Structure 1
């Protein structure tokens, strides 16, 4: 039996990009250290407004709600094969770089989502 989840993440199951990434992370999370919550599920508990949860990646670590690169870093640290990446992303001198990369991704995310929706129908 796996240990108690150490990180909770909320994800957008309606986003094909997000759904694919979460499926990959679930496979890597062999110790069930992450509790994945589909923020699109009306029954899902969200600690803040659902639209806000869906607009930016959020996680809860040690009772603290975090978002963006910090949330990814927390999640990555729980997965042995991604732990080093999570530690680098959480290291204060590098955190702003990871956050800038995440913000750049958010700007192109709608185009990637549209492309994935189109590719899935073709």
Structure 2
């Protein structure tokens, strides 16, 4: 059986993004998910093929098994993350052909406006010292 892992390149200054990563970490009992903050000083060194601007515009991740490493983006990252922790069925409908087009469009709008949405929903648009504990 393949041992899959996912490295998620997330925005550690976005309160909603951090909240989602916290939920994932709590559900990830088998440690299949690794996180990399796109604002870390070593981000461009560790992930030179993903520009900071591209990472700010939508979620990126690396899905890996013993034989391959694939770059995935947007809601595909979210789907694989929740699938790896056993809850992929919750988001699977967003990957169905007709719904996928609409969901991806909505996701891009969300990603572009996430700091405003964070301010409305959490009271802060950016984190100054957000942390994610496993």
**TM-score normalised by length of structure 1:** 0.78
Match of 2:77 in 1: 71
The alignment of Structure 1 onto Structure 2 pairs a total of residues equal to 116
Matched-pair contact (CA < 8 Å) for 1:5–1:34 = no
Structure-2 change in CA distance of 1:10 and 1:27 (3 Å): same
Matched-pair contact (CA < 8 Å) for 1:13–1:40 = yes
Match of 1:90 in 2: 95
The one-character-per-residue Cα deviations of 1:38-65 (angstroms, maximum 9, x if unpaired) are 1111123223112211221111114111
Match of 1:9 in 2: 8
* Structure 1 residues not aligned, in runs of 5+: none
Matched-pair contact (CA < 8 Å) for 2:14–2:114 = no
Distance 1:6 1:86 in 2: 18
Bigger fraction of residues in helix: 1
The one-character-per-residue Cα deviations of 1:72-119 (angstroms, maximum 9, x if unpaired) are 112121111x2213433334343223212312322432312333316x
The two structures, once aligned, show a CA RMSD in angstroms of 2.4
SS of match in other structure, 2:25: helix
SS of match in other structure, 1:112: helix
Which moves more between the two structures, 96-105 or 9-18?
A: 96-105
Structure-2 change in CA distance of 1:31 and 1:96 (3 Å): same
Match of 1:113 in 2: 118
Distance 2:13 2:114 in 1: 13
Flag the structure with more relative contact order, 1 or 2, with Cα contacts below 8 A and sequence separation at least 6.
Answer: 2
* Structure 2 residues not aligned, in runs of 5+: 128-134
Distance 1:87 1:98 in 2: 11
Match of 1:41 in 2: 40
